Every structure is written in C-alpha cells, then in structure tokens.
A and B are shown apart, each in its own frame.
Chain A
Amino acid sequence: MSKLQILTKGIIKDNPSFVLLLGMCPMLGTTSSAINGLSMGIATLFVLTLSNIAISLIKDFIPAKVRIPSFIVVIASFVTVVQLCMEAFVPELYATLGVFIPLIVVNCIILGRAEAFASKNNVINSALDGIGMGLGFTMALVLLGTVREALGAGSFFGFKFIEGDGILLFVLAPGAFIALAYLLVIFNKLTAKLK
C-alpha cells in the first residue's frame, strides 16, 4: 500500500464511522451541532495521531498478552496531557471542547487503530494512518452534526435560516440514531461504485 493510500483510506474506503462503524458512542453523543462534531473530530484526530506514533515506537518491547492494557495506559496518558495543556494554554478552546476530551479515551477507533495498524507498522505509516482515520472521523461527525443541526435547530454552524426551533427530536438522542442510519445508507450507496 502506498503512503497516499494509507492516508486516504480512512476517508472513504475504510471510513471509521460509516464503514467500520467504530466510535459510535462519541459520534451519536456529541453531534448535536456541526461545530460540536467538528471540535470532537479534531480532538480525536490529534490524540489518534499521537497515540499511533507512540505505540508504533514501543510496539517491539510489549509482550503480546499485555498489549491492550499497555495501549490503554498510553492513550489515557495522552488524553490527560492534551486536556491539561489545552486548559492551561488555550482556555477558549477548552471551554468548547472540554466536555468531550475525557470521552476520547473510550473511543474504540483509537484502540482499534493501535491494535490493527500501529502495532504492526512503522512510525511514518502509523502517523499517516492516524491522520487519515482522524480526518474520516471528523468528516463523518461534521456531516452528522450538520444534518442534525439543520433539521433540529434550523441552523448551519450556528447561523439560523429558519425562525424558532426545528424538529427538536433530531437534537436529542433518538434523532441521532435516525440521522445516522440514513446517512449510512446514502454514504454506502454513493461509495459502492468506488470500491
């Protein structure tokens, strides 16, 4: 697989949200608006890339039977470090992103890529894989967030285009499931020819 393929496979062919169906919990929970989806996506992209790099660096020293606990410790440490640094140096960003950061630890995309890719590949490929998967996840979150925000609140990235409220169901949890299901159908229909 070429470097470009490693980078781009996360966006369409192996999109973590629409094809692998990983990380559904943050996907459904944080996408009540497009900007929330974008924030969560970028935070995940960041941690995913860092943890992929770290894990591919230490993969040769980890006994097979304790690899999962080792990966989780590495990931949780990165998330805590990112959270502390953000709170200290970019408090404005922390105010919007803060609630989502601890959720990144339990995002199975990160552990999934550590196990399936970073523990078998070199550092550069692992970093590219992290960036690509992160971009794919971000794209899916923004898409779902945009749809839910447009239907539920009648706005696009905070700019209202209808008066009052939309279909409030779409801002709440059931609407997340409904919107995700239809997006999955559309995404897989459109990309079926590409595969």
Chain B
Amino acid sequence: MKSSLKNMVLTLLIITLVSSTAVGLVYLITEGPIAEAKSNKTTGALSKVLPAGEITNDPTADKSVITLDGMDIVVYPALNDDGVVGYAVESSTKMGFSGSFKLMVGFNGDMEVVNIEVLQHAETPGLGSKMGDPNNVLLVSFKGNNPANMKLSVTKDGGDVDAITASTITSVAYIDAVKRAYDAVLSLNEGGLKNE
C-alpha cells in the first residue's frame, strides 16, 4: 500500500490501540489465576521446607515481615500445641551473579536448617542454577546444621560451606541469603514469640 502521512498515522494508531486493548484484556483475565499460582507456589515451598510433623496454625496467616538492610524478609512461623516447631523464611540477596534471587529457608525449633527451596533466580543455567537442584553441595552443607555453629563462607575462604564448582559468586550469595534468613528469625524472637 502507498504511504501517506494520513494512512501511516492512522494505521499505527489503530495497531497500537488494538494491541494494547488486547494485552490489557488478557491481563485482566489472567490477573487472578497468576496471583493464585504465586500463592500456590509459596504454600508448596512452605510444605517442602518446614519440618515434618503436625502443624496446627496457618503459617501464611501468621507471617511477619522484617526489613533487614532495606530488603523485606518474610518469616512464616509453624506452631503446634507445644509451641514453635519451625520457621520458613522467604529471604533474598542482591549478591547473585545475575542480580537478586529469592530463597525459602526452613528451620526446625532448634534453628537447624531443614531444607532450602529456590523461589526465583536468574543465575546462569547449568552453573549457578545448580543451587536449585535437589541435594546440591550448598544445600547438603546447610542441611541439619544450625548456621550459628557454622563458619558462613565458602571452603575456599576457610568456611564450612562447599561452593558449586565454577559458581563461587552464586554460592557466596546463597550463603548471604541463608544468613539473612537466620538473622531475621533471631530479630523476630527478640521482639517476643519466644521459642519454648
């Protein structure tokens, strides 16, 4: 078609109008399901990181948000009739190889790490992304240990945590996120909700 100022302006106007309306409509339709999928992801991660056994409360309802170094950390306490059985902590770090990433760290009542789930990350696939694999070296280093009794740095720097091969930056950031999760629970306990 021959181009004239009038038909060029008109065509672009119509195309952008139709496209943005379509995208807007799809957004309205998908907004609810997306929020639901995200909250399902949180509950799924919670059940994976909290210690096994009876939990009588709804951890997502009793959550508290703590701000450490300008980042929000969400602590989900798990309770039963005897008191606190564990905590799940949604923690993040900005030190990742490709920006920030988010972990869900589960502690039992003695503050030993039960399990860690990677919620969201942008690390290099095949290298840093191994931190999300089941039984990777980072997770194994933490599992069953209380971070207070560990030297929180990679073995290369004299610490107790095995780093993922060729992904030292990711490993250091992972340690940072776990440490932050631990600190968040400690600072929460200072302000009440003591562990029995």
Among B2, B11, B23, the residue within 8 A (CB) of A81 is: B23
Contact A91:B30 (CB < 8 A) given known A63-B2, A65-B8, A165-B165: no
Pair B19/A73 contact, Cβ less than 8 Å: yes
| Interface range on chain B (Cβ under 8 Å from partner) | 20 to 34
| Chain B residues within 8 Å of A62, by CB | 1, 11, 15
Pair B1/A168 contact, Cβ less than 8 Å: no
Pair B23/A77 contact, Cβ less than 8 Å: yes
Pair A87/B30 contact, Cβ less than 8 Å: yes
Nearest chain A CB to B8's CB is how many angstroms away? Answer: 5
Binding site for A on B (CB under 8 A): 1-4, 7-8, 11-12, 15-16, 19-20, 22-23, 26-27, 29-30, 32-34, 37, 40-41, 122, 124-127, 165-166
Pair A168/B165 contact, Cβ less than 8 Å: yes
C-alpha spacing A33/B3, complex, angstroms? 46
C-alpha spacing A85/B22, complex, angstroms? 12
Is A64 at the interface (CB under 8 A from chain B)? yes
Among A36, A66, A87, the residue within 8 A (CB) of B3 is: A66
Pair A84/B19 contact, Cβ less than 8 Å: no
Contact A153:B3 (CB < 8 A) given known A87-B37, A165-B165, A168-B165: no
Q: A79's closest neighbor in chain B, by CB?
A: B23
| Interface range on chain A (Cβ under 8 Å from partner) | 35 or more
Pair A172/B127 contact, Cβ less than 8 Å: yes
Pair A91/B126 contact, Cβ less than 8 Å: no
* Most chain B CB within a 10 A radius of its CB, from A30, A74, A80: A80
C-alpha spacing A172/B29, complex, angstroms? 39
Is A171 at the interface (CB under 8 A from chain B)? yes
Contact A70:B11 (CB < 8 A) given known A91-B37, A99-B122: yes
C-alpha spacing A189/B80, complex, angstroms? 68
| Chain B residues within 8 Å of A76, by CB | 19
- Given A33-B125, A88-B30, 13 more pairs with CB closer than 8 A: A32-B124, A33-B126, A63-B4, A63-B7, A65-B8, A77-B20, A84-B27, A84-B30, A84-B34, A87-B30, A87-B34, A94-B37, A152-B126
Among B8, B124, B127, the residue within 8 A (CB) of A66 is: B8
Give 5 closest A-B pairs by Cβ, nearest first: A88-B33, A88-B30, A32-B126, A63-B3, A65-B3
C-alpha spacing A64/B4, complex, angstroms? 10
* Contacting residues of chain A (143-164) with chain B, CB-CB under 8 angstroms: 149, 152-153
